[in-house]
Amino acid sequence: MAALRQISADTGRSVADLVREGVDLYLGSRLQPSREELVRRALSIVGKYSSGLTDIGRNHDRYLAEDFDT
């Protein structure tokens, strides 16, 4: 509580506002998937789709420009 009061005094924000922000940050971090989950999701789609093109690595800029008509 002392730390919250000090931050409140330093920033001009109410303790209640700081607590609300802290709860929002905590809940937001809990709802985000873990790094391991993100890696698992990314790996689960590897090789799932195919464009039929074999030179995308070399010509990706050209294909992108064509798709966006630039």
The rounded distance, in Å, linking the Cα atoms of 26 and 30 is 6
- According to the model, what pLDDT value does residue 20 have? 96
Q: Confidence class of residue 70 from pLDDT cuts 50, 70 and 90?
A: low
Distance CA 43, CA 24 (A): 30
Q: What is d(CA 66, CA 45) in angstroms, rounded to the nearest whole number?
A: 25
**pLDDT digits 0-9 by tens, 13-30:** 999 999 999 999 998 888
The pLDDT value given to residue 16: 97
pTM: 0.47
- Going through the chain in order, the beta strands assigned E by DSSP cover none
Helix residue spans in 12-67 (DSSP H): 15-31, 35-44, 56-67
Q: Break the chain into its structural domains and give their ranges.
A: 1-45
- Is pLDDT at 32 greater than 90 in this prediction? no
